[in-house]
Structure 1
Amino acid sequence: MNKIFLHLFFLFFCSVLVAQKDTISIQKLMDEAYSFEQNQPEIALKLYKQTHQLSLKANYNDGAYKSLLYSGIVYSNIGKYDSAKYYYNKTIGYSKQSKTLIGEAKGYVNLANMYQFKGDYPNAIKNYIISIKLFEKTKDSVLISQSYQNLSSVYNSFKNEKLVLFYLKKAEDYGTKLNKEQLGLLYGDIGLMLLRQEHFNDAFAYFKKSEVLSKEYKSIRLNYFTIRNFGEYYNSKNDYNTAIMYYEDALKLSDSLNDTFQKDDLLYILSGVYFNNNNISKALYYGTQALSLAKQIDSDEMLHLILKRLSTIYYKIGQNQKAYQLLEQSYNLKDSVINDDHIKQMSLLQTKFETEKKDKSIAEQQVKLKKQELDLIKSQKEKQLYFIASLGLILLSLGIWYFYRQRQKIKNKEIIALQQQQEIAKLEALIDGEEKERRRIAQELHDGLNGDLSAIKYRLSTLEESGLSAIDTENLTKVINMINESCAQVRSISHNLMPSSILDYGLIESVKEYCVKINNSDSFKIEFQTFGNYVSLSKKTETVIYRIIQELVTNILKHSKATEAMIQFNYREDELFITVEDNGIGFDKNAISKGIGHKNIQTRIDFLNAQLDVESSSAGTSYTISIDLNTVK
């Protein structure tokens, strides 16, 4: 029976190793495909097709949906939106089948991006909203923020500044959880919105914040949009020469960005700036390039705008027939682009209107029913006047009694709260007084006793050894060495009484330094660990925490007979958990409240409004301190 079990376990272990090996090889192949996306997209697509098939064989869901998704992104970047749409829908279908929620959400958000590039705003909005709901289920704050940011850009096409700013602010709510590239792009979008509202100084400030993050993160995408946004700023100020300089720099980066739609949009903008700057040949050159690229990516919105721009340019140079033809083509496209937008807006307004009308009707019915109910109650009260009057007196008496009782309870609570505040104030004063006394004693030891010992050492060192016997010379050397050891002990005591590292470097470094000093002993070793993101507290709070740790370690050294100990800091969201453990002999937990050391610890625990749990056995002792970071100062 044991042999069969071992055989099955061996087979299972081998299958796990094979699956892990397959997963790693698939991931390497996907990384190779990514490296070809920019310059050789056809090779990237072949490799993604291969990784998808391998992922299906290996039952590797992440690899399967990512291969489909990345294929769609490649097709979108080269302007083949029908193929991109096909792969995004395949991503969504596979992710639903395999119950991969994050893959489904990413499929919808990229599908929305594709619809936005094509100018199909109703479908873009629809898919962005679906993706946001899915990302909320996955609790992915970064992707929720990105989706809100994308949604704002859709409403920007409607010139709906109120909704643009609304969704940008919702995206900014998740700003602390974004990486530097995403946060920089968000700052740029907010700056553009403020620029359109002619808040030039505020817009420039956001562009500068984006520029700082761009220099730190070294991202081509963020650098591209940062430079382009400065072009937008100077263009809005009619400083066309400076704007052109920034736009041209951004254009140089556009090929590295590998985003055809963004490059086409920038060519269209450059055409307009050169036109405003009376450089008609450049305006025509960039307008023609933009038209060619718009036809390539099949974007009705861009075709409509560029044709209109070219019509204006040809009219300027006197080619009226050509200008008329282009303008006619532009308006034909405008009907297909703008009318859909108007229908969508009207549909939204109509839905809102119908909802408000329905709510109003329901409210009126509720008011009518309420009035009938009040009339019925009034009639019943008139019939039962005497009974109600008697009952009213009883209820009034009970009410007065209840009122005074509740009032007394409130007063009692206020008294308890005041007592608690006074107790906290006493604890704070006690701790402050103790720290001041420690600081005074430390200063006296350092400046007084240590100075005196140093002076004695100096005087002894100046004695002429030639007139001393060998024994006196040896004794003199021993005395000087003893003074050196005393000075070191005084400095150590002074530092323990008031460690300067808390003021200079904070709690974590102070505890590390404390552990290093203790580890100088061969008979006892202590380890210090930290987990989570460090949260800086006030120096008073950090000093109180340091004193607790110092007292616990002192108790371990004095009483536990331990050879090893560990201090662990664990930051979890708004809480800090501190664990101090040793491998000593343990103690009776019922007796710990009698010691002065424990009373000092409990005083500081009460000051922090924290919780202390103690577990002790013959195998060692564990102290766990739970601190709510929202309540400490």
Structure 2
Amino acid sequence: MMKLSKEVNNDSLIIYSFNLKGDILLEKFKYNASLESFNTAIKLNEDYTKLKAYSFNGLGNNYSKFESFEEATKSFLKALELFEKVKDTFMIIGTNIHLANDFRKLRDYENSENYYLKALKINNNKNEFLDNFVYNNLSDLYNDMNKPELSIQNAKKALAYFKKMNFERYLAYPYYNMAVSYNKINNDNLAENYFLKAIKIHIKFDNQSELANSFNGLSTLYLENKDYDKAIESSLKSLEYSKKNNLLEFQISSYKLLTQAYINKNNFKLASNSFKKYDSVKNDFYEEKKLKITKQLSEKYQSEKKEKELLKARTEKAETELALTKSKGWIFILMASLLIAVFLFFGISQRIKRKNQEAIVKEKERGFKAIIDAQEEERSKIARELHDGVVQQIGSVILKARNLFTKKELTQDNESKEVLQRLENSNQDLRNISHQMMPRALKELGVISALNDLLEGSLSYANIKYSLEHFNIEERLPEKIEVTIYRIVQELINNIIKHSKATEVSVQLFNANNTVILIVEDNGVGFAKEKNKKGIGLLNISSRLDIVNGNVNFEPSPKSGTLVTIKIPLK
């Protein structure tokens, strides 16, 4: 179609072809190529408003897939403006729904509600399916807004229509929304009933991601009702579906619910294992998101680079053709002009390239900082909840048990000793987890004390000898740098324990010429043999150092292991 459109020189068909190509690439998950096709359509289009509206709509769909909801919103607003100009009612309604969905993702619930209601008003009951599609989305939104009564009203409207039309597959969605709403207003029987109805339909149609979500909702309900066995069973079901489809967000929720259920059943060993998996999957999730952001920025830059190269080629071709049509007397002038244009183009191109590179670096740094800040905030919150909640409760139980056993003269009884020992071991496990998440020593006493606690708590149990030396660290370092140093040492120590087979570890921290230098050395199998196992860990270290302008160097240690040197400027 594109080839024939170009042969007959029909601009509108050429633009239409690029729009179609963008749609096809979007369906094939080739988002960057799809973006490029829609952008080309927009650049070629000077006269065709409706076609331009479809191009911006395509851009919005791509940005939504990227989870770049702010960019998506800008594109959809432009598309809406153009669709309103040509009075395309169906696309006006669809674009309003797109905007409502993206504002919801941005947690701008008021704008989201306004656009859903606007779509309903424009539709004016003409398309019944569209109305009920919006009612179902509104039901979902009102649950986010903590308005369960409104959520139930809209879910019931959608449910009645889907039943009337025998759209069995769609019944699961209002069922799920009603379950969440009834849970919010403490009608547990109805909530359970609707969760089970939604799950039954999703099983029939093999909607695995929805099954993971629904079982997590059911687990939350059972946990709140203190039915811990059913909560565990539902969470394990959710894990089954989310692992099969690599749905990390649902895995995070499942492990968190499992941890809470096991704690309430006093099974602290399983709680500890579940919590470690929760933390690991959460880190993987943030790493994946961080890599995704970096890839998107890089591909966007490459796309812009290709466009500039194409523009350069077209400019040179046009200048050459113009020169050939002129008389010989103008050749020198034209060539000189062309050279000037090329030099100017290269100058501008290099300047734009530098700006793009700087923008990419800044965007990466913002992305990494936001992710790491969110991680630290979540770690700190969980650490507080564990330390001030569960650890204190178990400590209280231990004291009461000791007093009771003393009164009953059971202190020398083997079973009593075993009970106390298990309680103390569980308490110590949770205390260790809490300290690893966000050690109090780091906040209260500084990085040296925190590192000492970390090394003692991690390496002593692994039968690895260690030494910690520090020099010229007289005062507290900036908080961001202390957290960075602690997390990097934590990552390196975990790798040493898991992979290095080391028996000795040396950690040195000192300040030289306003540069903090951290050296971690082990006598294990060496970096070359274990580098393939550490991809995510090394990326995590590099990401943290990017934020504080630091750098890392890995090299073989004279002790046959690995020598890691990290430098972080203080100014």
Pairwise TM-score range, normalised by the shorter structure: 0.3 to 0.5
Greater gyration radius: 1
TM-score (norm 2): 0.43
TM-score (norm 1): 0.39
